[in-house]
A and B are shown apart, each in its own frame.
Chain A
Amino acid sequence: MKIIFLSGLIFTFGFSQGFAENSYAKRVRTTHVFQNGIQVKWEVPEIALSSSIFQQAKNPKIQIRLPHHHDDIFIHAQTLYVDFEREELILKGNVVARFGHHIVETQFLHLEFKDPFMRTSDPFVFKQKGRTFKGKGLLVDLKTKQVHLLYVQNQKQAHLVIPWKEKT
């Protein structure tokens, strides 16, 4: 019985290893450096559509390295859309972006690298140590390191500016 159990264990382990290797092999890793030196790495299980101008992929994990900046930006979402020509990334579906002490949760995020901005016109939740803001419309200015939050207060639009707090 021990032999059966042992062979079963080896088989299961081998199978899971093979499966893991197989799925690992399927993940595509890409690094792209945009014109102003912003380096973006993305890892995706499969690229859905690809041309020299754009790329569309599912379940991406993204790391963005800004020049002369300590903190990287980490993002994951359901769909990634890369426009190489316009130097833009668009992320859709359960987007979570982490940068410094901040976390942004939204359904749509637009990243522009020519004039570096990260923004959404969708409802968002912005979290930083001990504080949570909910609103509609957020802009992170990657050049001035400022976070602009738009929300409604007393039936009027309000605009709040928060400095980007780095971790290091």
Chain B
Amino acid sequence: MKKAYHYLGITVFTMIVVGCQRSSYHNKSYTKSAAQEAENNQVKTTWEEGKRKMESPETFWDAKTSFESALSQSPLDPLATLYIEITKIWPILMGLPLRLSHLIGEEIVQEGLEKKLKEYEANPPLQALVRSLLYGGNPTFFKSVHEVQIFVESEVLPALQKAQAALAQVETQKFLIELRTDQWHRKETRESKLFLDPTDVHGLRMYLYGLETISHLFLAYDLDFLLPFRTQFEKPESRSYQTILSEIKKYPSALTLRKNGKEHFQALLKDVQATLEGQRTLAKALYEGGKREDFVLTNPFYNFQGFSDWMHGLNHIEDVIAGPYLLKLSDAQAVMLNVPHLLHTPPKDLKQLFPTQFSNDGQKVKATSFPDPTFAGLIPDGDFIEKYCSVPNDVREIRLSIQCGEGEEKELNNDTLKNLQEKQ
């Protein structure tokens, strides 16, 4: 009996403790939820206001204050973060084609901009927004490639990296936002919607990473020699390996590693997955966007073949960044490529790797004239030229402008075929 009272006492005590906890929990949650609800309603109103403004090109910029206010209450809101990050990059890119016109060619740029703007005549608010992107912003022109590199390094790259960091936090959330896009078309559209989810944010982040990758490549070496080359080698008949390489050699700083060049190359290896996917996302977005009539930018791919070739080349580049790569020269021959080594320890002067002897017409490079058979560590076994020349021209998987012997290229004959089969 005593024991029964004992257990009863324990049970009652436990119930009281649990009951107290539950009641205090309810009271607390009740008072908290009332205040929170009012706060949430306010955030929701400013968020919806921002979303509404964002859906029209006329009020696009006005959405900033609403989203900033929404973000102060809910710091990782997906749509508000997305808007704020995009609008941070926008002013940096404003007027960029115009600023580059001294380097690209004034007439080409002017003509292109006018043509682009005319395409938006049917939608004046969107045209005004496109005009601000093409003609607005900083009016100073770039006079050299070096100036563009400084601009990309100091303004574009940090903005891209900040935006990516913010989007990386957003893409881990679960959300589905419906956005109306009717007013964003070049021509009148009945109804158009966009469903935004974490995968879209991830896609956008990869797009930005693609841009960052290209920026890193552009920033590694001194490219100032390109400007005089634009006019010098305009005519195709003036171009040969001999003339181009010997002209580059006249500029001592040409293709020398810039101050932070090594860091830029190494950045490509920091997140290989993002580098690979970023490049593909960027190319796909440009191609898919280019197919649409209302695409804001100029389509760099004129047809599917162009896009396909680009992706094919890109896949090769991506593959070699991912790790050591076995480059097939023929069915029987392959060489080991180690591009990551080159990215980790890039040569200080690429001119040092240039071949020194050429064929009589200057269109081919003599196989024996490469100063470094490892190509700065790219070919760890230093056997590329030797293996390339051992493969008859007819069965080569890749063909380069390399002259193996003094005379013509090796022709496929029974002896070489037999040798190949024996090696296999």
Contacts and interface: CB of A to CB of B under 8 A. Distances in A.
Interface of A: 3-4, 48-51, 54, 56, 81, 83, 86, 90, 92, 108, 110, 112, 117, 119-121, 136-139, 141, 148, 150, 157-159
B341 A157 contact: yes
Chain B contact surface mostly: helix
Contacts of A50: 199
B59 interface: no
A121 B321 contact: yes
A49 B198 contact: yes
* Size class of the contact patch on chain B: 20 to 34
Given A121-B322, A121-B339, A121-B340, 11 more contacts: A83-B277, A90-B273, A92-B273, A108-B272, A110-B322, A120-B322, A136-B344, A137-B323, A139-B324, A150-B338, A159-B380
B375 to A, nearest CB: 11
Contacts of A119: 322-325
Interface in B150-175: 171-172
A148 B172 CA distance: 37
A51 B280 CA distance: 16
Interface in B264-322: 269, 272-273, 276-277, 280, 315, 319, 321-322
Contacts of A90: 272-273, 276
B272 A110 contact: yes
Contact of B323 (A51, A56, A139): A139
Contact of A121 (B7, B10, B171, B324): B324
Given A119-B324, A159-B380, A51 B199 contact: yes
B125 interface: no
A138 B341 contact: no
Nearest to B171: A49
A49 B273 contact: no
Given A121-B269, A121-B272, A138 B277 contact: no
B247 interface: no
Given A49-B198, A121-B322, A139-B325, A150 B336 contact: yes
Contacts of B347: none
B21 to A, nearest CB: 18
Contacts of A110: 272-273, 322-323
A49 to B, nearest CB: 6
Interface string B335-350: 0101111001000000
A157 B321 contact: no
A139 B339 CA distance: 13
Nearest to A146: B326
Contacts of B339: 121
A3 B374 CA distance: 78
Given A159-B380, A159-B381, A138 B324 contact: yes
A-B residue pairs, 8 tightest by C-beta = A119-B323, A121-B340, A157-B380, A110-B322, A139-B324, A121-B323, A51-B199, A90-B273
Contacts of A138: 323-324
Contacts of A121: 269, 272, 321-324, 339-340
B351 interface: no
23 contacts: A4-B10, A49-B171, A81-B273, A86-B280, A86-B315, A90-B273, A112-B319, A119-B322, A119-B325, A121-B322, A121-B340, A136-B341, A137-B324, A137-B340, A138-B323, A139-B323, A139-B326, A139-B336, A150-B324, A150-B380, A157-B338, A157-B374, A159-B380
A115 B7 CA distance: 70
B258 interface: no
B131 interface: no
B137 interface: no
A148 B323 CA distance: 11
Contacts of A4: 10
A50 B323 CA distance: 26
Contact of A150 (B172, B272, B319, B341): B341
Nearest to A121: B340
Contacts of A150: 324, 336, 338, 341, 380
A47 B280 CA distance: 22
